[in-house]
Structure 1
Amino acid sequence: MWRERQIDNPVIALAAVEAEEALRAAALQEAARHGSAQPKSVLGKVLGAHAGLRSQARELGTIAARIVTEVNALSPAEVAAQAPAPKPRKATGSGHSGLSPLDSDGPVVLRFAPGPSGPLHLGHSRAVALNHAFRGIHNGKLILRLEDTNPMVVDPAAYDLITLDMEWLGAKPDEIVVQSDRLEIYYDDARELLSRDAAYVCHCDAEKWRELKRHSTACPCRDDKSASHLAAFEALFSGGDGIVVVKTDLESNNPALRDFVALRVVETPHPRQGDAWRLWPTYNFAVAVDDYRLGVTHVLRGKDHLNNTLCQQWVYRHLDWEEPQFIHYGLVSIPDALLKTTAICEGIASGDYIGWDDPQLATLVALRRRGYQPQAIMDYWVTAGVKESDITLSWQNLEAANRVLVEPEAKRLFWVPEPVELILDASQPLEKHAPFHPDRAEMGERRETVKPGATIVLPAADVAQLTEGDLLRLKNLCNCRLRDGRLKHAGDDPVKGVPIVQWCAAGAPLQLLRPNGSQTDGIVEPAAAEMEGEVVQFERVGFVRLERSQALFLHR
């Protein structure tokens, strides 16, 4: 270990000393706040603040265990005297950290364009955050465009859910556009393409058309005169069959960039438009038309859209339109998160999830229900920026950002998991005085009178560590000794080195739900009854949001 061995390299020796100082400071602060320190928690705080030490995690773990033992042996007065004063915690603010202004010599118009198949999830919030940030930098305009031109995947509730999600994120759009309300615009631009001989109506068998395309061969319909294509197009509205295809380069090395479908017949009634229309634009055609017609100047999206961009540029060239600037950022991987809307819908239908806000999901409505703050999410993505390299979301970093926001306001509570009942023997009533927040006296305290003979519940894990005659401290109440399966009052003043446990007397049942689907039964202290809907901290457990007779786990 660093402490026991001689280190000749002065740089490494300095790092060792600083690591021990950081571990001791973290242990003292934790003991001052919670009555005792835990090695894993102390080590996690230090490694989170000093990433360069992570390569020494195993060695530092041994040192942390020793330091925590030493700190827990101190009296509360000694801990208070030695603990460093906590640093002020500041929220990061929803600024534009790390983002350079867009290349622009005029007004900036951006768009966020999801399909209304369900509410937004954490992945969607990246595009919201970046577009919102650039709107702020340029004092520009942000359009919410709901892309609902595939009637078979539209969820009618999603129109409002998406709008509410954006407002919760603090990114209220300046304008809301629904593509299915704009079909006549797409039809007019399709007619223009057909008149310019830049598109054609195809009546070939779908598989035959795709096979010809794979072999860079023109469809027999491709070279018909534009007038016949215009007539065929109008026939599609009255029961005819076929597709409208935009002409590109059939010799392209990339088959995805050869002629692409612009409009197709869909007989399925639309949840918003009913059966008023049967000819529906495809994604690439509708997007190209809308970005131009709505005056979008900058398109921000993942690099998985590169082929889509190249297709859409054909529409711009055919119609002599000025293109927006296309900015493609790297893909993001979000571990331990189900994001696929169809899979979530199947899970809801089967009963695996209670709805879009199930705590197991990473939809924004689920994260909001658990207690995530929108600022933490927005700031995370703005910090990640628009780099072309792929990234993986760090739940640890997102939780750290959220912790900065909720910790100053979260009241502390005792919650006893898997409670074990014991009788407290005392000669007189005892008084609990526990602060709602260790750093904010103005928030008040939890007071409770515990009468002799009261039933006390302790965590099963703590009880399993006790043996006959052991001395323990009921946090913020008194010392007790275990005798014949009962707790015997053994004084009120804290005793150095005695294990401190949380407890409940007149509590209420409350189940903890975790994002992995696990559930733990427990008892929460009476003060929780006045905190419905609040984010609180269960001491030695983590932050949770209270919701009726359950608590939704947020994070440590």
Structure 2
Amino acid sequence: MDDDLREQIEREAEKHALLNAVKHESDANVGAIMGPLMGDNPDFRPHGDEIPGIAGGVIGRVNDLEYDEKRDRLEEIAPEELAEIEAEEEEDEHDLPDLPNADDYDEIRMRCAPNPNGPWHVGHARMPAVIGTYRDRYDGWFCVRFDDTDPETKRPDLEAYDGILEDLDYLGFEPDDTYRASDRLETYYEHARELIEMGGAYTCSCSGEEFSELKNNGEACPHRDKDADTVLSEFADMIASEYESGEMVLRVKTDIEHKNPALRDWVAFRMIDTPHPREEASEYRCWPMLDFQSGVDDHLLGITHIIRGIDLQDSAKRQQFVYDYFGWEYPEVVHWGHVQIDAYDVKMSTSTISELIDAGELEGWDDPRAPTLKSLRRRGIRGEAIVEAMTGLGTSTSDVDLAMSTIYATNRDLIDDEADRRFFVRDGMQVPLAGNSPAQGTPPVHPDHDERGVREIPVGDSVLLEADDLPDSGERLWLKGLGCFRFTEETLEYTDDDIDVVREGNADVVHWVPASESVPVRMRTMDGDVTGRAEPGVGDLAADEVVQFVRVGFARIDDSSGDETVTYYTHD
């Protein structure tokens, strides 16, 4: 091979190594680039035997570079190919459709408006995942606004305010601002007074049954034509708590003959006798309904785009009446269907989960059986995996199904490279060892990372195996990181066979732990607790570390301070 051809091969190998490394944000390898390299350069084929050696040296130099250095070098030698990679990345990143009329706004402004009546379940993650992703895509703004103006039927949980913000942080997003609707009562009162003065609202003392009959018949309420001064006076009495619950409401005057009865003169404010749990709001008794409160807030906060469930289509129509009175422009609205999530026996409902906790059927919001973000976090599932799964659902108006296996698959990609391997034997059977076996096992810390070294596991005179792994008498068994044994008369006798017995299919490969120096482990799972023993080093692992128990699955270390190490099963 002449020098010119060698230089050409090195240049092309460098380009393809950089393309591979930048695209996957990882080190390149010979196997990954040989196909594209030879495909782009058919004149290299006569030298196919020599090229891997040349490419290997080039790849080594490329892998020594930091990511930014690789990207800069690729931009220098192959700018068009780099642009294609970045275009693909942008396309892949945007599973979500463009927001409607996004170009018409100087800044995209959105809101995540949870009711803080408890921690978020998995389904709640869809809203912040999508809104946060849109904020990042458009370099926009989003806030968390706690819609906590119902202190009775959806009574706020004081711990949920901070808990929801923690869940949001877990998902990887930080709001640009945070509001509590219960701090803004005077703002809503002021807008109600303005609406009354416009003739757009009236106080009504009809019972619910009386008004419902009038509404369904398209007949006006007898209080509809009160003069503004009277309405203002009665509304002031509502604010002053002169009425009890159910005695008086303030209605928005719409169209009493509207084809949709749900839009006819809807309630904007009602009386609630139950004090709000927040001390700052506990004196208020006149509370806005969500459609009024949210509509006013969306305007005052400059919200440009609202995402809400398709079952809330009437909310936009109700609020449009208020916007028309004030001359405001209504935000763009994206409606989506419900998301159904499998794998849980517990209903995806904050109230249901709370009832199960109160009844002692769940130990708390982070019980592994609970379909909550706190549970997923304790199990060692990354928030990024949840966000990717939720944004992948798009914003269809149809109901969509999400398999937890989708979240698990993404999470597996995120943690597999980082998670060290460990042995954990569930309800093991103790088997004596015979023969001159090694004094310690040396399985790799990670099979794909030789640089991490091996775990040194003392063997002793017997090991624990899972019952299903014990072979028939006379058969051989390969204990990972230790060697080959033959099972004879309830004993494992060391044979000193090499790995060829495995390659030839003459011995199964199984994990094990020493009987004497293993540590007790309790693994909490969605199906109940699993007990067993693990290799000694597991007892020294720090909380929050995620490991892969070989042939069992990934698990997060929860607590090693007691008599046993407690772990939470992540997934297989």
Structure-to-structure mapping, 1:87-106, within 5 angstroms: 95-103=93-101, 104-106=104-106
Amino acid at match of 1:249: D
Deviation digits for residues 50-107 of structure 1 (CA, Å, limit 9, x no counterpart): xxxxxxxxxxxxxxxxxxxxxxxxxxxxxxxxxxxxxx9xxx8994344425423322
2-structure distance, mates of 1:331, 1:448: 50
Q: Give the match's secondary structure for 1:117.
A: coil
Q: What residue number does 2:26 align with?
A: none
The verdict on how the C-alpha distance between 1:98 and 1:112 changes in structure 2, with shifts beyond 3 A counting, is: closer
**Structure of greater relative contact order (alpha carbons < 8 Å, 6+ residues apart):** 1
The structural deviation recorded for 1:274 is 5.0
2-structure distance, mates of 1:217, 1:461: 75
Match of 1:316 among 323, 327, 346: 323
Match of 1:297 among 300, 304, 307: 304
The verdict on how the C-alpha distance between 1:341 and 1:520 changes in structure 2, with shifts beyond 3 A counting, is: same
Q: What residue number does 2:265 align with?
A: 259
Q: What residue number does 2:145 align with?
A: 145
1:168 aligns with 2:170: yes
Which of 284-293 and 190-199 deviates more?
A: 190-199
The structural deviation recorded for 1:555 is 1.4
Structure-to-structure mapping, 1:461-500, within 5 angstroms: 461-463=468-470, 466-494=471-499, 495=501, 496-497=504-505, 498-500=507-509
Amino acid at match of 1:386: T
Q: What residue number does 2:352 align with?
A: 343
The structural deviation recorded for 1:503 is 0.7
Amino acid at match of 1:310: K
The verdict on how the C-alpha distance between 1:436 and 1:331 changes in structure 2, with shifts beyond 3 A counting, is: same
Amino acid at match of 2:446: H
Structure-to-structure mapping, 1:320-399, within 5 angstroms: 320-337=327-344, 338-399=347-408
The structural deviation recorded for 1:381 is 2.2
Identity across the alignment (%): 37
Return structure 1 stretches of 4+ with deviation > 3 angstroms: 92-99
2-structure distance, mates of 1:425, 1:213: 88
| Cα pair 2:96 2:395 within 8 Å, conserved | no
Structure-to-structure mapping, 1:114-125, within 5 angstroms: 114-125=114-125
1-structure distance, mates of 2:126, 2:353: 20
Q: Give the match's secondary structure for 1:167.
A: helix
Q: What residue number does 1:6 align with?
A: none
The structural deviation recorded for 1:336 is 3.3
Amino acid at match of 2:186: E
Q: What residue number does 1:244 align with?
A: 250
Q: What residue number does 1:278 align with?
A: 285
| Cα pair 1:429 1:449 within 8 Å, conserved | no
| Cα pair 1:101 1:138 within 8 Å, conserved | no
Q: Which runs of 5+ in 2 are unaligned?
A: 1-62, 64-88, 560-564
| Cα pair 2:343 2:404 within 8 Å, conserved | no
The verdict on how the C-alpha distance between 1:314 and 1:336 changes in structure 2, with shifts beyond 3 A counting, is: farther
1:502 aligns with 2:504: no
Q: What residue number does 1:536 align with?
A: 547
Amino acid at match of 1:242: M
| Cα pair 2:475 2:487 within 8 Å, conserved | yes
2-structure distance, mates of 1:109, 1:340: 28
Q: What residue number does 1:527 align with?
A: 537
Please tell me the root mean square deviation across aligned C-alpha atoms, in Å. 2.0
Which of 188-197 and 475-484 deviates more?
A: 475-484
| Cα pair 1:469 1:482 within 8 Å, conserved | yes
| Cα pair 1:264 1:279 within 8 Å, conserved | yes
TM-score by length of 2: 0.77
What is the aligned length?
462
| Cα pair 2:251 2:269 within 8 Å, conserved | yes
| Cα pair 1:504 1:524 within 8 Å, conserved | yes
2-structure distance, mates of 1:277, 1:398: 43
Deviation digits for residues 222-246 of structure 1 (CA, Å, limit 9, x no counterpart): 1222221111111112422401111
TM-score by length of 1: 0.79
Which of 352-361 and 99-108 deviates more?
A: 99-108
Amino acid at match of 1:493: D
Q: What residue number does 1:217 align with?
A: 219
1:197 aligns with 2:199: yes
Which of 95-104 and 399-408 deviates more?
A: 95-104
Q: Give the match's secondary structure for 1:347.
A: helix
| Cα pair 1:477 1:492 within 8 Å, conserved | no
The verdict on how the C-alpha distance between 1:543 and 1:279 changes in structure 2, with shifts beyond 3 A counting, is: same
Deviation digits for residues 244-271 of structure 1 (CA, Å, limit 9, x no counterpart): 1112222223222222111111111111
2-structure distance, mates of 1:408, 1:321: 52
